[in-house]
Amino acid sequence: MLPRHGVTPALIYEARRRIAGQVVRSPLIHSTALSARFDADIYLKLETCQPSGAFKLRGATNMIAALIERHGQDGLAAGVTTASTGNHGRAMALAAARLGVPATICLSHLVPANKVAAIETLGAEVVRVGESQDEAFGEVERLVRERGMTLIPPFDDPLIAAGQGTIGLELMEDAPDLDRVIVGLSGGGLLGGIGAAVKAIRPGTRITGVSLARGAAMWESLQAGRPVEVEEVESLGDSLGGGIGLDNRCTLALVGEVMDDHYQVSEPAIAHAMVDILEHEKLLVEGAAAVGLAAMAEYRIDVQGQRVALILSGNAVSLETIDRARKLTGR
């Protein structure tokens, strides 16, 4: 019997087959500096190495390829569409271009200009609308209804979560005795997919979610036991903004099943983590990619003697945002 969320190990292995050659098997590197700082073995999963700059390419490629397998190229002739806080839109634009499918990406006015430009460069049509991801989704619904386009959701679909879950398979192959995986939490596709893969192979590995201090839609929904709306706010971790959809069908149940603990991090903590990763690891990461380290530092999570993986989920960050982070830290 399928789980309510529909994400099975078989679906994740199918995703790996489908995206092979289209997506980078990202490096898992040992951080000497962080390991010494936390008296643990700290590993960094570099999804920043993806051609789109973030993990989202896995799920987008998997879903578009799966739809082509099912319905043929003509089945997507009207094109694909989505709403995004930036990274999913960029990933979908790249995946669609590679697979020969037209794409329209709907973005709220909160999405930073550098992310908008990156999407347009890949040849997708961009529509700016509203002040939240939910408002952008209203335009997506219109495109689906009036132009016959196919929705590729940013997170709430088993095919999307399974694509992100291929990260978990790689983690278990490269570091099979991990004690904890720390993942940014927004819509839940990344954490849910990774958690489903890791728990299927090593159930004792803890899956830790990290959200923003404000606007944590998934966490608020888990507490309420149903999808709820939250006000979106500007943040260094802007990729973690947005709602989970009031009709959420997949990721709320999936995250509730696989996540063991959860932290909400402040803006100064995100800023310090971004600067630390840049200074000590020589890696440029967006705020959402730094929240794992932010949580470890802000909450002094006890990881002594453990093997811990942090998911560095993306690198879509402007120099202006890095400068904001530096100013917040005084460094």
> What pTM value is reported for the model?
0.94
> What does the buried/exposed string (b/e) look like for 60-87 if buried means 16 or more CB atoms within 10 Å of the residue's CB?
bbbbbbbbbeeeeeeebebbbbbbbbbb
pLDDT tens over the chain, length 331 residues:
668 899 999 999 999 999 999 999 999 999 999 999 999 999 999 999 999 999 999 999 999 999 999 999 999 999 999 988 778 889 999 999 999 999 999 998 888 787 788 889 998 999 999 887 778 889 999 999 999 999 999 999 999 999 999 999 999 999 999 999 999 999 999 999 999 999 999 999 999 999 999 989 999 999 999 999 888 888 999 889 878 989 999 999 999 999 999 999 999 999 999 999 999 999 999 999 999 999 999 999 999 999 999 999 999 888 889 999 999 998 8
Q: Are 178 and 305 in contact (CB under 8 A)?
A: no
Tell me how crowded residue 199 is: count the other CB atoms within 10 A of its CB.
Answer: 18
The domain ranges of the chain are: 9-54+157-329, 56-151
Q: List active site positions.
A: 56, 313
> Under CATH, which architecture does the 9-54+157-329 domain have?
3-Layer(aba) Sandwich (3.40)
Q: Are 144 and 274 in contact (CB under 8 A)?
A: no
The contacts of residue 70 (CB under 8 Å, 6+ apart) are none
Residue type, 27: P
CATH top class, domain 56-151: alpha beta
Q: Are 202 and 178 in contact (CB under 8 A)?
A: yes
The contacts of residue 218 (CB under 8 Å, 6+ apart) are 185, 186, 187, 188, 209, 211, 244, 251, 252, 255
